[in-house]
Amino acid sequence: MDAPVRPLPPVFYQRPVLEVAPALLGSLIVRRVDRHLLVGRIVEVEAYREDDPASHSYRRRTERNEVMFGPGGNLYVYFTYGMHFCANVVTGPEDRGEAALLRAVEPLWGIDAMADRRYGKRRLETRRELLDLTAGPARLCEAFGLGRKDNGRSLQGPDMFLAKGQLGATEKVVSATRIGVSEGKEKKWRWYVDGNPWVSR
């Protein structure tokens, strides 16, 4: 990268999830893993909170969702469908139980290393492979090497952090209903960059 980037300050995350989630769009996800630097731009997120029946924190605090109840600014990573990991940014003050799911990222740097994790090869052969690289929460976790060991990881670095980015002058943010939930389906708590080809749907 041409210029150094710094982690977003803790105070950024210690706000309600419905404020933080859309503010994440355009931010950079920076990950150093296996000697590689991976960078992407967040283009799709979903919000979940304690009074939301679709949230892991809805019924009670458990060993699984404990990280969601920590202070904003950590990663909450969980395993789903017996095969995939999903990464969330914890928001709000301690004991709030809310987080923003990272749904899609536009890959910017280290694409060959991401491809190696996703496809077992460093050379992308089609545009479809490029678009499928980080479009979806499980795909971006695989591409960025995020898994169970990253649950509770601080987003203050040095190996993982979010940095200030930006949306283009012509880019528009859209709010919509969330994907893959059976309850709380009416809530328009998903935000994405309209027209970005890496948005998951």
Q: For residue 161, what pLDDT is reported?
A: 97
Q: What single letter denotes the amino acid at residue 13?
A: Y
Q: CA-to-CA distance for 96 and 42, rounded, in angstroms?
A: 24
Decide: residue 24, CB within 10 A, 0-12 exposed, 13-18 middle, 19+ buried. buried
Which helix H or strand E contains 100, and what residues bound it? strand 98-109
Q: For residue 3, what pLDDT is reported?
A: 55
pTM of the model: 0.94
**CB-based contact 48:201 (threshold 8 Å):** no
Q: What is the pLDDT along the chain (201 residues), one digit of tens a residue?
A: 555 689 999 999 999 999 999 999 999 999 999 899 999 999 999 999 999 999 999 988 988 899 999 999 999 999 987 789 999 999 999 999 999 999 999 999 999 999 999 999 999 999 999 999 999 999 999 999 999 999 999 999 899 999 999 899 999 999 999 998 999 999 999 999 999 999 997
**CB-based contact 31:197 (threshold 8 Å):** no
Q: CA-to-CA distance for 141 and 133, rounded, in angstroms?
A: 10
Count H helices and E strands in the chain, helices first.
5, 8
Query: Token pair of 196, please?
Result: 């970005």
Domain 10-193 architecture: Roll (3.10)
Query: Token pair of 18, please?
Result: 């419905």
φ, ψ of residue 155 to 5 degrees: the values are -95, 25
Q: For residue 1, what pLDDT is reported?
A: 53
Q: For residue 201, what pLDDT is reported?
A: 74
